[in-house]
Copies of this chain bind each other. A is one copy, B any other.
């Protein structure tokens, strides 16, 4: 019956905090991200942050969810050509992850994801795994572009994982990297349809 007595949560404050978090995270990275800094940048009391979020991680996870840290979710399209589609998707991720202007941000995200489960899940989602990528792979399997027993989950992990390994190892960018990875993992593009084997 009662519903809610007392003042309600300020949406203004919520947005200011998330935007400040994104800005500070981008500027200063995962370590060096401070609640005080966020509160000051958002023009908000620290208590307002502690009231609604358990930790720095929860803030970052929510930023990811709102698309304030990654440009948008990276989603593979479905044109019928699975290699081209995955190459495009992976290329977008790679460009972001290895662009000098955003590489540090990406590494910070990986660090945050490694330290916090919530962030981990959210980052996976933002990169397209598992859901949207799985969907695309299933469609490829159905179309006969992948073997019927191809372990889709593992293929997806391998694709994204390769990016993360490159990022951790500070491997510099290479234009064909996306294509190479896709062909490495999905196998080379069959030049001719199955009948060619005959």
A contact set with B: CB distance below 8 Å: 29-31, 107-108, 110-115, 117, 120-121, 123-124, 129-130, 147, 149-151, 154-155, 157-170, 177, 180-181, 183-185, 187-188
A-B contacts, 15 listed (Cβ < 8 Å): A29-B115, A113-B168, A114-B168, A120-B168, A120-B169, A124-B165, A129-B169, A147-B188, A154-B180, A154-B184, A155-B184, A158-B158, A158-B165, A161-B164, A164-B168
- Report whether B117 and A108 are in contact in the complex, using a CB–CB cutoff of 8 Å: no
CB distance from A52 to the nearest CB of B (A): 20
CB distance from A81 to the nearest CB of B (A): 20
Q: In the complex, what distance in Å separates the CA atom of A166 from the CA atom of B155?
A: 12
Asked if A170 and B120 make an inter-chain contact with CB atoms under 8 angstroms apart, the answer reads yes
For A113, what are the chain B residues with a Cβ–Cβ distance below 8 Å? 168
CB distance from A163 to the nearest CB of B (A): 7
Q: Chain B residues near A168 (CB, 8 Å)?
A: 110, 113-114, 120, 123-124, 164
Bound: A111/B88 CA distance, A: 28
Q: Please measure, in the bound complex, the distance between the C-alpha atom of A170 and the C-alpha atom of B119, giving whole angstroms.
A: 11
| Interchain nearest-CB distance for A158 vs B (Å) | 4
